[in-house]
A and B are shown apart, each in its own frame.
Chain A
Amino acid sequence: MVDYIKLKQGLDIPVEGVPETRILKSIVSETVAVKPTDFRCLIPKLAVKEGDAVKAGSVLFFDKKRPEVRFTSPVSGTVCGIIRGEKRKLLEVRVKADPETEYAMFDLPKPEAITAEQVISALLESGLWPCIKQRPYGIIPNPEVRPKALYISGFDSAPLAADYDYILKDEVENIQTAISTLSKVVSKIHFGLNAKTHASTPFHKLSGVEFHIFDGPHPAGNVGVQINHVCPINKGDMVWTVNLQMLAIIGRFFATGKVDMRKTVAVGGPRVSTPGYVKCISGMCMSGIADMTNDNVEQLQKGCEVRFISGNILTGTNVGKDGYLGFYDDCVSLITEGNYYETFGWAKIFRPKKYSFASTYFSWLTPRKKYKMDSNLNGGVRAFVMTNKYAKVFPMNIYPVYLLKAILAEDIDKMEQLGIYEVVEEDFALCEYIDPSKIDIQAIVSKGIDIMIKEMA
């Protein structure tokens, strides 16, 4: 019997530019980048210098605290830039790609014969270990600790997210290889399916996993929400999570011995002329999709620039038009920078160009309408006032405001008691979206996790 879990709370944000299931082009980036900033609490140590030649799978930098955790190049070529920020913080390692990718070969036993130790050391050496994240905290796990279980979400419910059923339909075999290999390390693998597509999805035939079906709006696809409903994390527990496209890359690696970081990425959002999918490589440059932008904006947004977001509009990173795709991201969202004034905005009775989850406006009259959303904050930052709203989009047995206040007070015991182990930033993204007080809630959660990591280290 497969678990069927119905989630009532949540919201599918009606933003325009949902990617259609078509491959628009293949992007060959001249340079790609690996960004240490994609990995929480990583202190990187460089292993290359500018001008060095690397292969796909050669190490670029590693974790100073755990040197065995390596980060490798997705392409072959020459290291062409080491970008540092304030206090010489390492931001990006850029590699100028060769026209033909040359792969570093890893000598691996056959997937059937591989042992747990070999799996871990192969992942560490190939730089694919960081594909795995641990809960609590959402960090790269310690290779010496075995987790309780591995959780995989088989769908992404975030706005404008990639449709895994489509982009990974030819990767089922690789995913199966990855699952079989990883099952040597973890005893239990959970796989979350979307109730809408669970019968038609190519993944429902995977073996060696326990399926759970989730029915509901976003964040039903968030792996943290799924864990919370299947087997919530307690103090002292540790589980792993892997993004599905990453899992396919791991499978490819175990099948071929090559670090092949090619991805299919969704490009969506109101500023994309033809929303769809592109084939590219992990760490591709946004300049490859610069020609996909449009000027189809609302009156107010005229003249405003495009914001390039690596990831979805709730949790992604603003990387700029010359930035690079994040390590974990499989979608790019282009929205308008909302740096305009709106006269009498909040006082208008009708505001048909803007969406609101609350019934204080009239968006509920047009449930099918999609909106050209932008990055305007739509108000000023205030203290917590409408504290009863967050629970409507937060499908976990946690009191969000109490947890947030415990974090603001830096009360470690309270944070632990109120469930900090069960959440990461993305779980609070919708709370942040609907918040009339415009508080940066994900930043608060991030601070809480940092405090916990520091305290528990």
Chain B
Amino acid sequence: MEKKEKKGSIFDSTIEAFQSFLRVPNTVTRRGSHVRDCNDLKRVMIIVVVALIPTLLFGIYNIGYQHNLAAGTDMGFWQMVWYGFLKILPLYLVSYIVGLGIEFASAQIRGHEVNEGYLVTGMIIPLIVPINIPLWILALAVAFAVILGKEVFGGTGMNIWNPALIARAFLFFAYPSHMSGDKVWVAGVDGYSGATPLAEAAVGNFPTMANGSDSILNMFIGLMPGCPGETSTIAILIGAAILIFTGVASWKIMLSTVVGGLAMGYLCNAIAPDPTSYLAMPAWEHLIMGGFAFGAVFMATDPVTSAQTETGKWIYGFLIGAFTIILRVFNPGYPEGMMLSILLMNTFAPLIDYCVVQRNIKNRLKRAQINQ
């Protein structure tokens, strides 16, 4: 907020960041309330990181599992975990080294303290990209997201779009061959074609309760090809429970996103021409496919880029859910619609809030006129 006086060393912000990371500083209140709650942004962010851990752990296992399946080898549980760990570790190294490096540098340039927002962004980015992404491309995406998605607006709290999604959108449009298709999801097996359930569904090939309850169960557990963090609905639900219980993320957005998705899904079902068309895929199946659950729980609820009024949150979430299904079902070019619809609604969130706040203003004006 306030500009600090510049001291000598160019590493002041960095040193300060590490110090306040290790111990809560001895600053005391100067103005206003003399006592302050012990909850700070570091704590809030670390809760989100904790909520992401189940998806990360499952993602690690699933990388090994999918590899094992594709390569036809016979790996044990711990071998699969170790394989997945080795595959995802470089992604995390790149994500945090590049991202935090830029954060530290920009904090230093501005004379600010380093914001902790990137702890979460850096945790999310490797979870929403294909495991086979080349590291230099990932580094580019991270740099793009942090600089153009966040720092140009003034850092954490000022950005318009979710930075992690900006990274993904950058990859999606700049390097589409590394981001979608059938070849990118399974690690370590060249040329292996492992389509995600979404891609399958887009060509009308989806399981139903009658003929594919096994594959539906696998989708729910997460044993399917896809981005490391997105596949397991169970792990995401654990994260959702943590976020809702601690009050860090808004349950209203999560719920309304699901409701929006289901509503649009059932509408599609109703207008489906025949039972094998994509339109006829059971609405609830959308929720466990692709990035819907992950997006609804971890991305749509970002307090900075989502709608900030309580009424606005219902509208915002509902539209995210509905647009996702529209993009998935009616746009054959993009099998996944979650990213684009969240980014779209990030853009419109201030407009939604504007309308809600405007209603408050109108009521106040009306009250003043009645009183006169």
Chain A partners chain B: yes
Task: Give residues in A with beta carbon < 8 Å to B.
Answer: 13, 15, 232, 234-237, 307, 309, 313-316, 318, 333, 335, 337-347, 351, 354-361, 373-389, 391, 397-399, 401-402, 417-419, 425, 429, 432-443
Is B271 an interface residue, CB under 8 A from the partner?
A: no
At the interface, yes or no: B46 with Cβ under 8 Å from chain A? yes
Is residue B272 within 8 Å, beta carbon to beta carbon, of the partner chain?
Answer: no
Contact B115 A382 (CB under 8 A): yes
Question: In this assembly, does B37 line the interface, its C-beta being within 8 Å of a C-beta of chain A?
Answer: yes
Query: Is B90 close to A, CB under 8 A?
Result: no
A382-B36 CB under 8 A given contacts A346-B46, A359-B246: no
Contact between B32 and A337 (Cβ–Cβ < 8 Å)? no
Chain B residues contacting A361 (CB-CB under 8 Å) are 38-39, 43
- Return the chain A residue nearest B308 by Cβ: A387
A383, B154: Cβ atoms under 8 Å? Answer: yes
Asked if A391 contacts B36 (CB within 8 A), the reply is no
Residues in chain A near residue B250, CB distance under 8 A = 388
Q: Which 5 A-B residue pairings sit nearest by Cβ, starting from the closest?
A: A379-B40, A383-B157, A345-B24, A234-B368, A442-B32
Complex: how many Å from CA A356 to CA B247?
12
Interface size on B, residues (CB 8 A): 58
7 contacts between A and B (CB under 8 A): A344-B22, A358-B39, A360-B47, A361-B39, A376-B26, A377-B27, A443-B31
Contacts of A443 in B (CB 8 A): 31-32
Extra inter-chain contacts (13) besides given A234-B368, A387-B308, CB under 8 Å: A236-B372, A345-B24, A360-B246, A374-B35, A376-B26, A381-B2, A382-B1, A383-B157, A385-B157, A389-B247, A417-B361, A433-B36, A436-B39
Tell which of A354, A377, A399, A437 touches B157, judged by Cβ atoms closer than 8 Å: A437
Residues of A near B30 (CB, < 8 A) are 440
Min C-beta distance of A122 to chain B, whole Å: 31
Contact A381 B308 (CB under 8 A): no
In angstroms, Cα B365 to Cα A261, docked, is: 42
B31 to A442, Cβ gap below 8 A?
yes
Given A341-B25, A385-B156, A419-B364, A399 and B35 contact (CB-CB distance below 8 Å): no
Interface residue B73 (Cβ < 8 Å from any Cβ of A): no
**Residue in contact with A382 in the complex, picked from B32, B46, B156, CB distance below 8 Å:** B156
List, in ascending order, chain B residues with CB within 8 A of A335's CB.
Answer: 34-35
Judge whether A399 and B309 touch: CB under 8 Å. Answer: yes
Contacts A313-B33, A339-B26, A418-B357 given: A385-B246 contact, CB under 8 Å?
no
CA distance A356 to B246 in the complex (A): 11
Q: Which of B46, B158, B364 contacts A234 (CB 8 A)?
A: B364
A385 touches B44 (CB 8 A): yes
Q: Are B155 and A379 in contact (CB under 8 A)?
A: no
CB neighbours of B20 from chain A (8 A): 380
Complex: A234 Cα to B363 Cα, angstroms: 11
Can you name the residue of chain B whose Cβ is closest to the Cβ of A414? B361
Which A residues are CB-close (under 8 A) to B363? 397
A100 to chain B, nearest CB (A): 37
Interface of A is mostly: loop
| Cα distance A335–B347 in the bound complex, in angstroms | 45
Complex CA gap A343/B18 in Å reads 12
Q: Does B44 lie within 8 Å of A340, measured CB to CB?
A: no
- For B115, list chain A residues within 8 Å (CB): 382-383
A378 lies within 8 A of B24 (CB): yes
Measured CA separation A401–B250 after assembly (Å): 17
B33 touches A432 (CB 8 A): yes
Q: Provide the residues of chain A in CB contact with B34, threshold 8 Å.
A: 307, 309, 313-314, 316, 318, 333, 335, 375
A361 to B47, CA, bound (A): 10
Q: Is the CB of A360 within 8 A of B368?
A: no
| Cβ A432 vs Cβ B35 within 8 A | no
Give every chain B residue within 8 A of A425 (Cβ-Cβ). 32
Interface string of B92-131 (1 = CB under 8 A from A): 0000000000000000000001010100000000000000
A25 to B350, CA, bound (A): 57
Q: Whole-angstrom distance from the CB of A300 to the nearest CB of chain B?
A: 10
| Closest partner residue, chain A, to B114 (CB atom) | A380
Considering only CB atoms, which chain A residue lies closest to B244 in the complex?
A359
Question: Does B371 sit within 8 A of A, measured CB to CB?
Answer: yes
Q: Which residue of B lies closest to A381 (CB)?
A: B1
Q: Is the CB of A386 within 8 A of B44?
A: yes
* Minimal beta-carbon separation of A144 from chain B (angstroms): 21
A356→B39 contact, CB < 8 A? yes
Residues A441 and B32 in contact in the complex (CB < 8 Å), given A358-B247, A379-B42, A382-B156:
yes
A382, B39: Cβ atoms closer than 8 Å: no
B-chain residues with CB within 8 Å of residue A318 when the two chains form the complex: 34
Across the interface, name the chain B residue whose C-beta is closest to A374: B35
B328-341 interface code vs A (CB 8 A; 1 in, 0 out): 00000000000000
A373 and B35 form a contact (CB under 8 A): yes
Contact check, A382 vs B23: say whether CB atoms are below 8 A apart: no
Interface residue from B28, B117, B310 paired with A337 (Cβ < 8 Å) = B28
Question: Could you tell me if B27 and A380 are in contact, using CB atoms closer than 8 angstroms?
Answer: yes
B9-29 residues with Cβ-Cβ distance < 8 A to A are 20, 22-29
Chain A proximity of B253: nearest CB distance (Å) = 10
